[in-house]
Amino acid sequence: MARKSASKPLFGGRTPARRKKMTPPSLLQSPAFRIGIVVVGMFGARRFNDEVLRPIGAATLVPLAAAAAPQAERAWAETRPWRDYVARVLNSVNTAEVREQVAGRLAQWIERFR
C-alpha cells in the first residue's frame, strides 16, 4: 500500500497570489467630495460661495456669536480688578534695580554649568 506524503503543497502547487494593500479611502474618492465638485461646477465658485456657504455661515456663526458675546463681556468686566493687579505687579517689577538682580541671578546660574 502506497502511503501519501504527510505534507501537501499549499495552493495546489501554485505560488500564492500577492494581496493588495488595503489603503484607506481618500478624500477624493468620497461621495461628499464628488457631490461638492459637481455642485461647484454647476453653480460656479462665486455663486456657490454667495448662495451656499455664506448663508450657512450666517445661520450658524451669528447665533453662536450673539450667545457668547454677553458672557464674554461679563467675564471681561469681572476680571478687570485682577488684570489691573497684574499690570501693577508687572510695572513694579520692571525697574532697573529688579532687572539688575535678575541679570545677576541668571549669571550665577549660568556659571554653575561652566
Cα separation, 45 vs 37, in Å, equals 10
H-state helical runs in 11-53: 31-43, 45-48
Total domain count, the chain? 2
Asked if residue 62 and residue 35 are part of one domain, the reply reads: yes
For residue 19, is it within any domain? no
For residue 38, is it within any domain? yes
pLDDT the model gives residue 82: 92
Asked if residue 34 and residue 71 are part of one domain, the reply reads: yes
Cα separation, 70 vs 78, in Å, equals 12
pTM of this structure: 0.33
Cell of 72: 464674554
For residue 44, is it within any domain? yes
Rounded to an integer, the average pLDDT of 66-93 is: 88
Asked if residue 74 and residue 44 are part of one domain, the reply reads: yes
Q: What is the pLDDT of residues 10-64, one digit of tens each?
A: 556 566 566 666 666 677 788 888 888 887 787 788 887 888 888 887 787 777 7
- Asked whether the predicted pLDDT for residue 85 surpasses 90, the reply is yes
Domain span holding position 61: 30-78
